[in-house]
Amino acid sequence: MDTWTAFKEDIAHYRLIKPGSRILLAVSGGPDSVCLAHLFWRLSKTMPVTIFIAHMDHGLRRESHADANFVRLLGKKLGIDVTVENVDIRRCSARDSISLETAGRDERYRALAAIAARLRCSLIATGHTANDNAETVLMWLLRGTGPDGLCGIPRERPLGRRSIIRPLLSLPRTSIMSYIRSQRLSFRTDRSNSSDAFTRNRIRHHLVPMMESFNPRLVEHLTAVSQLFTQDSAVLRSRAAAAVRRCARITPNKIHLDLNMFFRYNKSTQMRVLKSILPEKKSVAQIQQTMHLIFSGNDGIIKFSRTWNITKESNNLCFARR
C-alpha cells in the first residue's frame, strides 16, 4: 500500500479527524514532518479541513535559523500559514534542572498548545512514525517499564483542551522516504540526530540495526506488539479507574486508601490503583515500595518523596503532604 493511501486509511480507521477540523501541523523541516505537511495539504483538497504549520526554533544549532526559513518557504509553496516560535531550550533546561532533550520536548508541546489556542485549532498533528514508536518501546523496555511502557507512543492523547494526533504512526521510515522521493520534496537534516549523546539516537543507530539482523521486520512487529498492549491497557485502566473511585479518597494534601476494599482486587489492578493515586513521581520502584508497606502486616510511616509521607494505620493507608 502506498503512503498516501495508508495515511488516509489510518485517519478513517482511527477517526483522527472530523470534517471542519482546524489542525496545527508540527513541522521541523525533517523528512517526517515535511511528509506530514504534504499529506495534509493533499488531504485538504479532498476533505473540508483548515491546516496551519508551526515550527519551533530551539536555537541549539547554528543552522536553526535556516531550518525556520525552510519551513516558511515550504508553507508558502503549499499555501499554508506558518508560525515560527523561538524557544530558549538551554535556559529552560538550566531553570528546571532537566536534560536538553526533556526541556525541548516539554517546551515544544507547551508552545504548540499556545499556538493552537491562538489559531483555534482543536488538533495538533506530529510526524511520529512506526520507527519512532519502535525506538520508544525499546527505550522503555531497557528502563524496566511496566505494560504501559510497551504501548509505545499513543496515536492520540489530550493536551489541555486539545488533542495531539500522530497520523504517520503506522508508517515505517522507509515509506516516508519513498514518498519524499516520489513527490520530489526537499527536507532539512538535523545534525544532532547523528549524535550518540542521546539515548534514542544510540538505540536508532546501534540497537535497532543489530536486532533487525535477527528480524528484518522488527519495526512492524514492535508496532503490532504496542497496539496489542494499548488495547489491553485501555481495558485495565478502565477497571483501575473504577477501583480508585471505590477505595480511594483524594484531596490536594491527603490521599486515603481503604485497604479492606483495596485487598479485594487482584495484583494487577492494585498496582494500577497505586499508579493512579501516587503523588508526584510514579516509578515502578515507588509502587513496589508502597506495595511492600501495604502487605508487610506492620503499621508505620515512610518518606515517599521530598514533600510526601505515607502512613499505614490498621486498614488505612494515607499519603500526606509534609
Report the CATH number at residue 213: 3.40.50.620
Mean pLDDT of the 91-108 span: 71
Report yes or no on 77 lying in a domain: yes
259 and 135 in one domain? no
Q: Residue 281 above 70 pLDDT?
A: no
Which of 174, 208, 225 marks a domain boundary? 225
- Indicate if 207 and 307 belong to the same structural domain: no
Mean pLDDT, residues 260-277 taken together: 91
E-strand ranges in 72-189 read 82-86, 123-125, 156-159, 162-165
Q: Is 232 a domain residue?
A: no
Domain membership of residue 146 (yes or no) is yes
Residue 24 lies in a domain: yes
Structural domain boundaries, residue 37: 3-225
pLDDT at 322 over 90: no
Does the pLDDT value for residue 233 go beyond 80? yes
Q: What is the mean pLDDT of residues 125-137?
A: 96
Host H or E run for residue 105 = helix 100-118
The answer to whether residue 134 is domain-embedded is yes
| Residue 246, domain member (yes or no) | no
Q: Which of 45-49, 269-273, 284-288 has the highest mean pLDDT?
A: 45-49
- The answer on 218 and 259 residing in a single domain is no
Task: Output the average pLDDT for the chain.
Answer: 89
Range ranked top by mean pLDDT from 76-85, 195-204, 275-284: 76-85
Q: Is 59 left (phi over 0), alpha (psi -120 to 50) or beta?
A: left
Q: Are residues 135 and 257 in the same domain?
A: no
